[in-house]
Homo-oligomer: A and B are copies of this chain.
Amino acid sequence: MEPRKRPGRTPAPAGRTSRPRQAEVARLAGVSQATVSLVLSPKPDGKGPVISEETRRRVLEAARSLGYVPDPAARRLAAARNNLLGVFSFTATFPTDVQHSYYPFLVGVEREAAALGYDLVLFTGSSTGGAGAAGPDALSRVRLADGCLFIGRHTPRPELKRLVEDGFPVVHLGRREELEGVAWVGADYVEATRDVVVRLAELGHRRIVLVREDDDAPASTDRQRGFLEGLEEAGLPSGPTTVFRSADPQRELTPERLRAWADEGVTAFVAEETDTGAAWRGLLSAVRAAGLDCPEDVSLALLGSPPADLASEPVPTGFDIPRPQLGAAAVRLLAALVAGEEASEPLVGCVFRPGPTTGPPRARP
């Protein structure tokens, strides 16, 4: 009787030479597929079956000559790891506008990932159109990797939460404490800002004003907290007027306002760094318009790095956000999670940056 044809998927046409599989390596080496797997992915603790040196050599040689590379999907499906770390950003990772890009983070991310033996998969997140578009599937693609790094301000909470709940290793770059259970790394703005304030106090400044935008992002509130802690540490008073909060500093921060502060004895200003740099720009132009000299009349500090278009100006006193280090720290944390270890310290310190925009206050009569 003719063997009945069984249903199922027809084998691939194999018209083109496809990538070699373990089966082909096995054939070439004269062993079984299982042996190939055992040779190519040895258990780290040497627990599994032992393969003779001779066989191992033959298999490795065969794999090399065929250019064998394991299929990441198959590896993952088989409940192992594939040495891939995902990077997902909700805006384009490589935007046309370099200013607002995550490029500096990626520098560190890539370096650290390579050092730890991972390759990076860039999940093309919210770029225009195509499969990368939004929808519940967009985030689920990251499960192809062993774990995923998320960068960006606007994180879709439910999907991320879902990933975390399923035990998928996730690290967010930037403080994200409101999302229960999401690991994150961030810059220690509190400490860095406090440091700046204390140094200003040490120069002799008694009255310092923080200029910030009207935004409750963690990065902003952290700076304010650090500012207030710094004042306290220096024994300076922190009245309601020490923080100037404005949705549009470039308009509302008038020269008159500035002169009034100066008359009240304010001798130093610190501005937060934001995407737009509005706080810093507003402060700079107001100082100029008021005819004040820096650092003779007032000292200015920037809590971050200046916008790129102000690169020709002298670099102000403040601190640098170690973005590459942040990226590297995030990768280390992610790798630890992937390995099933515990999370480590999430805060990365910023480094104080001396600059010509600060000095001792003018002696007042």
Contacts and interface: CB of A to CB of B under 8 A. Distances in A.
A137 interface: yes
Interface residues of A, number: 67
A272 to B, nearest CB: 24
13 contacts: A16-B167, A67-B140, A71-B144, A72-B144, A73-B73, A73-B82, A83-B131, A94-B103, A94-B106, A96-B107, A117-B129, A119-B124, A119-B141
Given A84-B121, A114-B124, A114-B130, A144 B76 contact: yes
Contacts of A83: 131
Contacts of A74: 73, 77
B131 A117 contact: yes
A71 B129 CA distance: 22
Interface string A185-213: 00000000000000000000000000000
A70 interface: yes
A73 B143 CA distance: 7
Query: Copy number in this complex?
Result: 2
A71 B340 CA distance: 20
Given A17-B166, A94-B110, A117-B130, 7 more contacts: A19-B166, A69-B140, A71-B143, A72-B140, A77-B77, A98-B103, A312-B312
B72 A143 contact: yes
Given A107-B94, A144-B69, A162-B67, A167 B17 contact: yes
Nearest to A126: B114
A87 B348 CA distance: 30
Interface in A61-107: 64, 67-74, 76-77, 79-80, 82-84, 92-96, 98, 103, 106-107
B94 A115 contact: no
B70 A12 contact: no
A236 to B, nearest CB: 38
A18 B96 contact: no
A118 interface: yes
A127 B143 contact: no
A219 to B, nearest CB: 23
A113 interface: yes
A324 interface: yes
Contacts of A167: 16-18
Contacts of A227: none
Among A79, A113, A128, the most chain B Cβ lie within 10 Å of the Cβ of: A113
